[in-house]
Amino acid sequence: DAKTTQPPSMDCAEGRAANLPCNHSTISGNEYVYWYRQIHSQGPQYIIHGLKNNETNEMASLIITEDRKSSTLILPHATLRDTAVYYCIVRVRGNTPLVFGKGTRLSVIA
Amino acid sequence: GAVVSQHPSWVICKSGTSVKIECRSLDFQATTMFWYRQFPKQSLMLMATSNEGSKATYEQGVEKDKFLINHASLTLSTLTVTSAHPEDSSFYICSARDFPGETQYFGPGTRLLVL
């Protein structure tokens, strides 16, 4: 079973920042937070991951609360191409596979 | 990022036939590969984990004799759906993990339609 809770859907205006929340209140000390997205009829795309520090790459920023019980994925300037289902997953690095929950369906609106 | 390919992207077959799907890691070696299945409007469901040179580990409820997985090299895994039936129609997605297991990368998926 997925160990995260995400809102089922969100809307965002094109050009604005999209902030996608994720609760993972039972996360353990050695579990990382991973974010993937799935655009319609494609395989999931890796976005970013982190352990406890905030992370940023060319796609997004990941903000993890100090108690690590929740996180937020930020797409700084959402475009129509960012419309997708976004999955927040917690996982121990190593041989454990990613287990997907239901994710958040983000709709970017012109 | 690392690239994972799948072939074919689409396949239509008759009930009772077998279908093979290939998954390749193009620019990295993957000691571990995963196969997922996704039905319409649902999330991805893990089917099995395969390690190069050893037998695959199947998730509960997945028939190992029906979904044959072979991971013969560090860049290739295959999924064969044997004696396919209409209920096997789905979107099959493979994933490969780089070393030392930090990130899983996904293929584009294979859509299977069994008539």
Q: Give me the residue label for tokens 């579990």.
A: A31
| HEC string for A27-47 | CCCCEEEEEEEECCCCCCEEE
pLDDT of residue B31: 83
Of A45, A46, A100, the CB nearest to B44: A100
Distance of CA B108 to the CA centre of its chain: 11
Give start and end residues of each alpha helix (H) in chain B: none
B84 touches B13 (CB < 8 A): yes
Q: What percent of chain B clears pLDDT 90, i.e. is strictly above it? A: 78
pLDDT exceeds 60 at position A1:
no
Q: Which chain B residues in 78-107 lie under 8 Å from chain A, judged by CB atoms?
A: 91, 93, 95, 100-107
Residues A3 and A89: their CA atoms lie apart, in Å, by 7
Confidence of residue A66 (pLDDT cuts 50, 70, 90): very high
Closest CA–CA distance from residue A43 to any residue of chain B (Å) = 4
Are B106 and A44 an interchain contact pair (Cβ–Cβ within 8 Å)? yes
Q: Give me B84's structure tokens.
A: 């396919």
A73-109 residue pLDDT tens: 999 999 999 999 999 999 987 778 899 999 999 999 9
Distance of CA A35 to the CA centre of its chain: 4
* Mean pLDDT of the residues in chain B: 93
Q: What does R_g of chain A's alpha carbons equal in angstroms?
A: 13
pLDDT above 70 for B101: no
Most B-contacting residue of A31, A32, A42 (CB-CB within 10 A), to test interface: A42
**B41-91 residue pLDDT tens:** 999 999 999 988 888 999 999 999 999 999 888 899 999 999 999 999 999
Confidence band for A68, pLDDT divided at 50, 70 and 90? very high
Helix (H, G, I), strand (E, B) or coil at B15: coil
What is the reported pLDDT for B100?
66
First-last CA distance in chain A: 35
What's the one-letter identity of residue B107? G
Is B28 part of the contact surface with chain A (CB cutoff 8 Å)? no
Q: Which residues pair with B5 in a beta bridge?
A: B24
B98 pLDDT exceeds 90? no
State yes or no: pLDDT of B99 exceeds 90.
no
Which amino acid makes up residue B41? K
H or E segment at B105?
strand B104-106
B44 touches chain A (CB under 8 A): yes
User: According to the model, what pLDDT value does residue A82 have?
Assistant: 97
Q: Which residue has the tokens 């604005």?
A: A16
Q: Tell me which chain A residues have a C-beta less than 8 angstroms from the C-beta of B91.
A: 41
Please tell me whether the peptide bond between B100 and the residue prior to it is cis, using omega within 30 degrees of 0. Answer: yes
**CB-nearest partner of B34 from A41, A94, A97:** A97
Confidence grade of residue B40 (pLDDT, cut at 50, 70, 90): very high
Output the CA–CA distances (angstroms, integers) from residue A28 to A25, A102, B34, in the order listed.
9, 21, 24
Asked if residue B2 has pLDDT above 90, the reply is: no
Q: Give per-residue pLDDT as tens, A28-58.
A: 999 999 999 999 989 999 999 999 989 999 9
> Which residue does chain A place closest to B91, by CA atoms?
A41
Above 90 in pLDDT, residue A25?
yes
B105–A46 C-beta distance less than 8 A:
yes
